[in-house]
Amino acid sequence: MKISNTPKLTLFHCLNSFKETASMFDGCEARTVKMACSSMTKDVHLLRAFESGADAVLVLVCSDKGCRFAEGSIRAKKRVEYVKTILDDIGMDGRRLNIFNTAAKDEGSITNIIQDTIVQLETLGPNPALNRRN
C-alpha cells in the first residue's frame, strides 16, 4: 500500500538525545515532544500520539549507560515494547512505534532513522485508526 498523504511522525525525545533541524523532516510532517528524561515516556502519551494522527511514533533516548537519570532509557524501552504489543493486538501494527538510542550531536543517524521510518510507512500505509480521504 502506497501512502498517499504526507506521513505524520511524532518524536518523543530526551533533551540529551535529539537536536532538531528542519532538514531532518524532509518528506514528512513532524511533531516533537521534548522531555527532561525519556523515563517520562508514558504508555498513554504514545497511544494518544496515534489518536492525534501520527502514522508512526519514534522515541529517541540516550544510550543505556549514558542516561543522566540512570535508568530512563531502560524504562522507556519497556514502555515502548508494551505499547507495541497493544498496537499489534488492536491491528495497528507495532512496527509503527520504535525506540532508538541516539545522541543529539549525531544528526546524520537521526536523519537516517526518520527517513527509514518514512520508507517503512510506504509499506505500512497511513494510520489505520484514522479515516483519511485524499
Q: What 3-state class would DSSP assign to 132?
A: coil
* Residue 73, all three cell numbers: 532509557
pTM: 0.88
pLDDT of residue 1: 44
The mean-pLDDT minimum among 19-28, 32-41, 73-82, 116-125 falls in 19-28
Q: What is the CA radius of gyration of the chain?
A: 14
pLDDT of residue 133: 45
Chain mean pLDDT for the chain: 86
Q: How do residues 73-115 score in pLDDT, each as one tens digit?
A: 888 899 999 999 999 999 999 999 999 988 777 888 889 999 9
Q: Which domains does the chain have, with CATH numbers?
A: 8-124 (3.40.50)
pLDDT above 50 for 3 = no
Sequence letter at residue 11: L
* Mean pLDDT for the stretch of residues 11-21: 79
58 burial class (0-12, 13-18, 19+ CB within 10 angstroms)?
Answer: buried
Contact 73, 63 (CB under 8 A): yes
Sequence letter at residue 39: S
pLDDT of residue 44: 96
